[in-house]
Structure 1
Amino acid sequence: MKKRRLIAMGLSVMMTMSLLMGCGSTSNSNSSTSSAGSSTNASEASSNEGSKKTYRVAYIARAQSDSFAAWLANEIMAEAEEYDDITLDVFDGQADDEKENTAIENAIASKYDAIIVQPNNGEAQRPYVEKVVQNGIIAITTNARIDGIEGSSSVDADPYKQAAVNAQLALEQIPQNAKVVVLKGPSGNFHADERRKAWQIEFFDKRPDVQIVAEDFANWNKDEAMALMEDWVIAHGKIDAIISMNDNMAAGALEVIAGKPEFENTLVYGVDGTAEALLLIKEGKMTATCLQSAIELSELILDTVHKLLTGEEKQIDTDIGSPIITKDNVDEYIQMYKERGLITE
């Protein structure tokens, strides 16, 4: 049987962000070429294109250590290459509110034409995105959007729907009187909170027989999920289902129980549809995930920022779809990754 392997999506992001981050860095350094193939010094771009306007865009990513955030940053960089009037610089928030907020402030000071923010903690970033708007710069929040900022646009997915499709499937799959554990994203994060809310309404309220034996924040992080799962396995023994608010945490929990016969039938649910999760579903180790397509998100993000920059639209708030992925349809999504070069055989 052929072995599949994952391309290290985070590698190029890590290299780019390590060059660009440094809180005092500006977009017009030589390193900005690394952030997107079309990214060059704005004045150089303007001279090359004659009188054509070139727009400088900053993307503030949540954290390259998060597999989905790394995938999204890579896709945004690739999509930016399709626009000859956009130069893109990417900065890493390193899953740290202070660092992400500093990056936003630096982007404002550097007078970017547009700043796209993937929040680490929406409420922590809110006042800084408000500053973007106040400075007359186009502001877009994504994955997750920050609601209620007048003058800011958003491109996102519906996190309630993402979890609901899993929860509705789990109603029929999780056995009676099951013991389950729940891995949560960061407290106060819109996606984390809405996904947990969906699981409560769509599953736990309808299945009072199911016992949550452990629940905690793993902050989208695989290592944190592994540490929690190690403790839970010792404390509770056999666990019937792992309910995770994203794939990265689900994969971490799965590493802990890998090869243990008593966990062979443990059901595992996640969100994002990462390449790693798809291979785990294909191998029968993970039950289901909801695709949050970084490909679709990046296309919408760049389309949105371009329409706002050129004045075609003044305000845009839009969502991508929320398809469920199981063993029955996983092959078509694996093929999607193969075509992007993210899974090879």
Structure 2
Amino acid sequence: MKAKKIGAILLASVMAVSMVPAMSVSAADAKRVCFVARASSDTFAAWLTTEMKKQAEKYDDIELTCVSGEGDDNKENGLLEDCITKQYDLVIVQSNNNGAQAPYVQQLVDAGIPVITTNPTTHQNDLDGGDDTSVMAGTGTVDADPIEQAKVSATRAVDEVPENANVVVLKGPSGNYHADKRREAWDENFFSKRTDVNILYEDFANWNSDEALTLMESWVQAGTHIDAIISMNDNMAAGAIEAIRENKDYFNEDGTANFLAYGVDGTAQGCLLIKEGLLTSTALQSAADLAEKNLEYAEKVVNGEMEVTDVNDYVDAPEINADNVDDYIQIYIDNGELTEDDVKAAEE
């Protein structure tokens, strides 16, 4: 199973870097920053961790430590409490579940530790359950707009998805801002316009390719052909695609796919699937851009050049499809995340 092998190689290479205890070489008086990632098994979180470490190497006055909550709210919350105990100068938080982590983000704020929340933003209503969707008081954010990310594929799907299609929807973790907002964007920009489309199945796969594969296997066994996979990230789309890779009912006689698949993130794995003709489109959420902005602002905050509450920045969400995927694959080759052999494997 070619894609599974490619995906495993990519994830393994990212995790190998992300799991290493990370401290950049720095001066003795460097400011101590901790990045709390949601899960090392999540390809995007692992990519973001890797990029954070790369960016930290550019700053002699920053000592970066990276830890992971492994997709467990209790573990991530414990890590946030530990950041208070260890008295970090600044903490960058990638929440697994916004509502679950918000009280612990508040503890950091109360302890006088600056907090930047990223991918996703923690909002005020995550803390108090109210209607205020502004960035949580006392914190800053570097993020991407999940509505715009999902809109990229949802808009084109209006014209691409066949009439009376049967589709499946793979959702990220419940309570995660990006997961929830991407799903809302599909309602607004696709399902409201294509009322003929039937959602055959919909479930949480929690950003995880293995969970998506298991769901897709059970859905396919029910016997109704699935015309489109609508996934809130590339990783889940990859798992669902893997479940039907050897199923002749999902491929034409010439080997081309007779299904559509949409993701978000624009990961290296997602780009290879587009190159293979198995993923229709995705929107780039650049971990490199997020990391660059996070470390740039972190340095300014810890050195007193700006207040953390003034940190409010968002990266773009350009579409990646068959027409432009080679450009993005070349970027991944240039930064070492893909090799020419990876691309050849996807083309074979």
Pairwise CA distance, 1:162 = 0.2
- Structure 2 counterpart of 1:72: 48
The answer to whether residue 174 in structure 2 is matched with residue 187 in structure 1 is yes
- Structure 1 counterpart of 2:183: 196
**Unmatched runs of 5 consecutive residues or more in structure 1:** 17-33, 40-44, 47-52
The answer to whether residue 315 in structure 2 is matched with residue 320 in structure 1 is yes
Aligned partners of 1:97, 1:202: CA distance in 2, in Å? 31
Count of aligned positions: 314
- Structure 1 counterpart of 2:290: 297
Q: How does 1:327-342 map to 2 (within 5 A)?
A: 327-342=322-337
Pairwise CA distance, 1:236 = 4.1
Output the amino acid matched with 1:277. G
Aligned partners of 2:319, 2:52: CA distance in 1, in Å? 23
Asked if structure 2 preserves the Cα contact closer than 8 Å seen for 1:36 and 1:78, the reply is no
Aligned partners of 2:34, 2:284: CA distance in 1, in Å? 26
The DSSP-based 3-state class of the residue aligned with 1:89 is strand
Asked if structure 2 preserves the Cα contact closer than 8 Å seen for 1:297 and 1:320, the reply is yes
The answer to whether residue 18 in structure 2 is matched with residue 13 in structure 1 is yes
Output the amino acid matched with 2:207. W
Pairwise CA distance, 1:237 = 2.6
Aligned partners of 2:272, 2:137: CA distance in 1, in Å? 41
Aligned partners of 1:213, 1:236: CA distance in 2, in Å? 11
Q: How does 1:75-224 map to 2 (within 5 A)?
A: 75-148=51-124, 149-224=136-211
Provide Cα deviations, 1:5-50, integer angstroms capped at 9, x if missing partner: 6542111112x1xxxxxxxxxxxxxxxxx404326xxxxx33xxxx
- Structure 2 counterpart of 1:20: none
The answer to whether residue 237 in structure 2 is matched with residue 255 in structure 1 is no
The DSSP-based 3-state class of the residue aligned with 2:92 is strand
Aligned partners of 1:159, 1:69: CA distance in 2, in Å? 16
Aligned partners of 2:240, 2:209: CA distance in 1, in Å? 8
Aligned partners of 1:319, 1:288: CA distance in 2, in Å? 21
Deviates more, 1:150-159 or 1:232-241: 232-241
Aligned partners of 2:34, 2:326: CA distance in 1, in Å? 35
Asked if structure 2 preserves the Cα contact closer than 8 Å seen for 1:183 and 1:249, the reply is yes
Aligned partners of 2:78, 2:23: CA distance in 1, in Å? 22
- Structure 1 counterpart of 2:279: 286
Output the amino acid matched with 2:226. I
Asked if structure 1 preserves the Cα contact closer than 8 Å seen for 2:274 and 2:325, the reply is yes
**Unmatched runs of 5 consecutive residues or more in structure 2:** 125-135, 252-257, 341-348
Aligned partners of 1:125, 1:35: CA distance in 2, in Å? 23
Aligned partners of 1:75, 1:38: CA distance in 2, in Å? 16
The DSSP-based 3-state class of the residue aligned with 1:90 is strand
The DSSP-based 3-state class of the residue aligned with 1:302 is helix
The DSSP-based 3-state class of the residue aligned with 1:201 is helix
Aligned partners of 2:280, 2:47: CA distance in 1, in Å? 22
Provide Cα deviations, 1:302-323, integer angstroms capped at 9, x if missing partner: 0111111122221211100000
- The runs of at least 4 aligned residues of structure 1 exceeding 6 Å deviation read none
Pairwise CA distance, 1:235 = 1.5
Pairwise CA distance, 1:151 = 1.1
- Structure 1 counterpart of 2:127: none
Provide Cα deviations, 1:38-94, integer angstroms capped at 9, x if missing partner: 26xxxxx33xxxxxx520001101000000000000000110000000001111101
- Structure 1 counterpart of 2:131: none
The DSSP-based 3-state class of the residue aligned with 1:156 is strand
Provide Cα deviations, 1:209-254, integer angstroms capped at 9, x if missing partner: 1000000000001111011101110114310000000011000000
Asked if structure 2 preserves the Cα contact closer than 8 Å seen for 1:183 and 1:217, the reply is yes
Aligned partners of 1:55, 1:295: CA distance in 2, in Å? 22
Aligned partners of 1:215, 1:123: CA distance in 2, in Å? 23
Aligned partners of 1:173, 1:285: CA distance in 2, in Å? 14
| Seq. identity, % | 51
Output the amino acid matched with 2:195. P
Q: TM-score, normalised by structure 2?
A: 0.88
Deviates more, 1:117-126 or 1:227-236: 227-236
Q: TM-score, normalised by structure 1?
A: 0.89
Asked if structure 2 preserves the Cα contact closer than 8 Å seen for 1:36 and 1:81, the reply is no
Asked if structure 1 preserves the Cα contact closer than 8 Å seen for 2:24 and 2:62, the reply is no
The DSSP-based 3-state class of the residue aligned with 2:153 is helix
